[in-house]
């Protein structure tokens, strides 16, 4: 990413406010989520040639066959997660680093795992997410980060075919886990609350479409 891109002009801020207004009209009301998304410059996570797409409410390709999630979807998942300042949050599927940055802007201590080496390497070098103290890991999201557990919140931003047991284990009692679950084109947004070591409650929150969560730990790609 060229450094010249990293300026946040009045024009960008105006476009961002319009995007936030649109997200509000679609039903998002959590002020902490909206404020954070109004601060994080989504265009920093785009190649300069695609800047004009950054403030549309659409997913967009970020390379390696992956996408930066649609802003509404980021807002929806983040709202379900009920993040509070100081919480330890694990994200599976770092992608562009945008969602992780929104969580960090909300005051969370963010741990995020990416399975694709190329995306991870890009994040390690130039990524604007680095202006936040986000802890980046290259690895398999199904396994989570047992060494850093437990987490107050866990978020998967790829389509998970099932609820990974290892991740539920790494959630604190009282913790919240949000993930789009489904094996086909469409997934059901699912929120789990861990009531005790052996009990969870599960709620569903409508249909979404994510890129699939990849099964095996990455070889160097
Ligand atoms: N949260 C991202 C968008 C995620 S797209 C953003 O804000 O831009 C889904 C991401 O999950 C992709 O980058 C993909 O490579 C990653 N992914 C897929 N399977 C994974 C796995 N098993 N573990 C960790 N990351 C995975």
**Which residues, at least 6 apart from 98, have a Cβ–Cβ distance to it below 8 Å?**
40, 42, 45, 68, 69, 74, 129
Residue 197 belongs to a domain: yes
Mean pLDDT by 10 residues, the chain (221 residues): 67 96 98 98 85 91 89 98 98 96 97 94 77 93 97 98 96 98 95 96 97 69 41
Residue 77 belongs to a domain: yes
Residues whose beta carbon lies within 6 Å of some atom of ligand 1: 66-69, 92-93, 95-96, 98-99, 113-116, 119, 140-142, 157-158, 211, 213-214
Residue 48 belongs to a domain: no
Residue 29 belongs to a domain: no
Residue 30 belongs to a domain: no
Count of structural domains, the chain? 1
177 membership: H or E segment, kind and range:
strand 171-181
Q: Which domain holds residue 99?
A: 63-208
7 SS3 class: coil
The preferred substitution site among 111, 115, 154, 155 for testing ligand 1, maximizing ligand atoms within 8 Å of CB, is 115
69 flagged as catalytic: yes
| Calpha distance 70→61 (Å, rounded) | 11
Residue 141 belongs to a domain: yes
| Calpha distance 8→90 (Å, rounded) | 28
CATH number, residue 191? 3.40.50.150
Residue 39 belongs to a domain: no
**Ordered DSSP codes for 121-173:** HHHHHT-GGGGS--EEEES-TTT--GGG--EEEEEE-SBBSS--HHHHHTEEE
**How far does residue 36's CA lie from ligand 1's centre (Å)?**
21
Residue 180 belongs to a domain: yes
Number of H helices and number of E strands within the chain? 6, 9
Rg of the chain over CA atoms, in angstroms? 16
Which tokens belong to 165? 């047991």
């Amino acid at each position: 990413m060229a450094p010249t891109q990293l300026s946040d002009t009045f024009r960008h801020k105006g476009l961002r406010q319009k995007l936030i207004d649109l997200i509000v009209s679609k039903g998002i009301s959590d002020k902490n989520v909206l404020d954070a998304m109004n601060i994080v410059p989504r265009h920093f996570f785009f190649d300069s040639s695609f800047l004009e797409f950054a403030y549309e409410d659409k997913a967009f390709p970020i390379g390696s066959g992956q996408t930066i999630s649609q802003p509404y979807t980021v807002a929806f998942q983040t709202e379900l997660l009920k993040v509070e300042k100081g919480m330890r949050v694990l994200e599976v599927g770092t992608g562009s680093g945008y969602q992780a940055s929104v969580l960090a802007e909300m005051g969370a201590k963010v741990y995020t795992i990416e399975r694709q080496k190329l995306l991870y390497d890009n994040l390690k070098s130039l990524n604007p997410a680095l202006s936040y103290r986000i802890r980046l890991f290259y690895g398999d999201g199904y396994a989570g980060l047992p060494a850093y557990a437990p987490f107050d919140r866990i978020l998967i931003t790829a389509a998970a075919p099932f609820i990974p047991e290892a991740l539920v284990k790494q959630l604190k009692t009282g913790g919240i886990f949000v993930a789009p679950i489904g094996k086909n084109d469409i997934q059901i947004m699912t929120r789990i609350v861990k009531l005790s070591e052996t009990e969870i409650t599960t709620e569903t929150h409508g249909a979404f479409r994510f890129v699939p969560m990849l099964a095996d730990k990455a070889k160097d790609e």
